Structure 1
Amino acid sequence: MNFRQLDLNLLRVLAAIHRTGSVTLAGKALALSQPATSNALARLRDFFGDALFVRSPSGLTPTRLCEQLAPAVLAQLLALETLVTGHEEFDPANSAMHWRLSMSDLGEMLFLPGLAGALRSQAPGACLSNISVAATDVATALEAREIDMAIGILNPRKRGLRSEVLFRERYVAVAAPQWRPASGRSGSTLSRQQLAEAAFVVASPTATFHGSVEQMLAGMKLEDRIVVRARHFGALPDLALISDLLSIVPEMYARDLRLRHDFRVWGIPGAPEYEVRLVWHGSTDNDGAHQWMRALVRQLFRRPLRATP
């Protein structure tokens, strides 16, 4: 095995196939045709004297040698990219960057308008896309540069990732203006008894805001009071306004709803706090463009952290 004979472009193919589990998808990610990608894999197999990937019902499965090689190859490719691009001056006013963020449907409603407005003002040539990535896949998507950063209820522990808390949030209850608890006085906070007498509508998203509403209600032994489960937070306002259903939503979303609808909002006793984080890959730490974008996100959304009890 002579390293000088190895075409280093082949290593990008190795990393892409390892990430996607498919020659076709790897080719698309690298803008290569399927024959060209297949030929690159054949050359890799010949160089390493190993199959590297074997077919399985779920796609191409890496061999033991490939599992040793691929993570190290990807780390070195990311480090090289950072070295090459990290010292470039970034001018947002003349940038044509296409930013790829991952946010849930709720995150899209809360964060995307502010981000889009700031970009149109400060970086009018830039584009912004919200890429749907499940919370469990965010680390892989960041590592593969499929997304630039993510915002949500995330606590990634994978090596190489960075994160910081933007703010802490808690859940509150919202309902139509005519809604009243079935018993007891109507104060600013609903009692556990009042919650137990209510019927709930909740959202169960799969992206970067996870299903912790149901977890909270299950912990309060109120899961059996859920009568409607929606896929998206955007469906909740209409469902609550035209029915007797009580919706559990983050406080930030409740404040936004009150600006646009005549909702009533109540506190929930013992509602846990959660952290909304900005997450990115460490390989972009010194990238001028990414530094600017992270600073913009902080400027728009970071709030002083409340002291935890």
Structure 2
Amino acid sequence: MNFRQLDLNLLRVLATIHRTRSVTAASKALSLSQPATSNALARLRHFFDDELFVRSPTGLKATRLCERVAPAVLAQLQALEIAVAGHDAFDPATSPMRWQMSMSDLGEMMFLPPLAAALRRQAPHAHLSNISVGAADVAAALDNREIDCAIGILQPRHRGIRTDLLFRERYVAIASPSWRPAGVKLAAARRRSRVLTRGDLAQAALVVSSPTATFHSGVEEMLARMKMSDRIVMRVRHFGALPEIALTTDMLAIVPDMYARSLQQRHDLSTWELADAPAYEVRLVWHASTEKDPAHRWMRELVHALFARAD
């Protein structure tokens, strides 16, 4: 017998007759006419080359082949029914859902702590992993189900990718409290506005972070457009090193404003705005195949509630 030639709709008939031991009862359960159910049984007998059911004083009795096949069919149908019925049911309080996200090292520092706290409160059985994926590879990783979503400076144009704007951000400079623009005395620097012009940057020594995961090289691109790439005297892989470098050297560290504000709670750093710094967009990105999945929708709503903000 060739399984590919079997009409899978017939398996529901097989399982129902096996359960009811009656063609008439199976017809009612399946909302089919009795001739249609009898015809389905005849086709099943032809496919399996077996009677499947024989008459007995207590109703139809399954053959040995039917006793082997019908319970397996019933189990698969029940599993499918649970899966389909459960599509609209997701309880974060009890679900052991496993999410795989992708964000940069800065994303871990800024997003994971509040996200972890929310998950432990609302979804204590859930699991979350941060998977390192380069910004250019995010769309492919989503398409291949390697990750469920990503947060970062991302604008993938690929078909089937969905995005949600969380917030717009800008770059600022952080430095030690004693730092001031070249040619400006410390006292005067404290009185002047905390905005650095292109002329100020053109005379400063800069340190930048160049991460790879879900975070474009926005700082370097900005400085390249301003023709100030030659002012970068140090590149580091992780944002975590920048506060100490800024505190202990004469270098300016260029960082997102969100990060600078969080640092000021723990470090004695000064923050300088950049006159010509462009804004950029931080987005949540996911695949269209998970658009209506209740678990994924719940996670996206949680991310949006935690991090989305008006300009």
Matched to 1:135, the amino acid is A
- Decide whether the 8 Å contact of 2:166 with 2:284 is kept in 1: yes
Matched to 1:162, the amino acid is R
Matched to 1:221, the amino acid is K
Who is 1:256 aligned against? 262
- Decide whether the 8 Å contact of 2:198 with 2:275 is kept in 1: yes
3-state DSSP of counterpart to 2:265: helix
- Decide whether the 8 Å contact of 1:86 with 1:287 is kept in 2: no
For each residue in 1:253-287, what CA deviation from the matched residue of structure 2 results, as whole angstroms up to 9, or x when unmatched? 11111111111001101101100000000111111
CA apart distance, 1:221:
1.3
- Decide whether the 8 Å contact of 2:152 with 2:284 is kept in 1: yes
CA apart distance, 1:88:
3.5
**Quick one: structure 1 residues 203 and 85, their matched pair in 2 at CA, closer, same or farther if it must change by over 3 Å?**
farther
For each residue in 1:121-154, what CA deviation from the matched residue of structure 2 results, as whole angstroms up to 9, or x when unmatched? 1011111111000011111111111111000000
CA apart distance, 1:84:
4.4
CA apart distance, 1:99:
1.2
3-state DSSP of counterpart to 1:108: helix
Larger Rg: 2
User: Does 1:276 find its partner at 2:279?
Assistant: no
Matched to 1:121, the amino acid is R
CA apart distance, 1:87:
2.2
Who is 1:106 aligned against? 106
Who is 2:57 aligned against? none
CA–CA distance in structure 2, aligned partners of residues 264 and 200 of structure 1: 15
- Decide whether the 8 Å contact of 1:86 with 1:286 is kept in 2: no
Q: Runs of 5+ in structure 1 lacking a partner?
A: 7-79
- Decide whether the 8 Å contact of 2:198 with 2:276 is kept in 1: no
3-state DSSP of counterpart to 1:266: strand
CA–CA distance in structure 2, aligned partners of residues 3 and 138 of structure 1: 39
- Measured on the aligned residues, the alpha-carbon RMSD in Å equals 2.0
CA apart distance, 1:4:
3.0
1:71-220 matched pairs, under 5 angstroms:
84=84, 87-184=87-184, 185-186=188-189, 187-220=193-226
Runs of 4+ in structure 1 deviating by more than 6 angstroms, as ranges, are none
The TM-score normalised by the length of structure 2 is 0.70
CA apart distance, 1:235:
1.2
1:38-53 matched pairs, under 5 angstroms:
none
CA–CA distance in structure 2, aligned partners of residues 174 and 264 of structure 1: 6
Q: Which of 216, 231, 238 is 1:232 aligned to?
A: 238
Q: Runs of 5+ in structure 2 lacking a partner?
A: 7-79
Matched to 1:236, the amino acid is L
CA–CA distance in structure 1, aligned partners of residues 266 and 224 of structure 2: 30
CA–CA distance in structure 2, aligned partners of residues 84 and 283 of structure 1: 16
CA apart distance, 1:176:
1.0
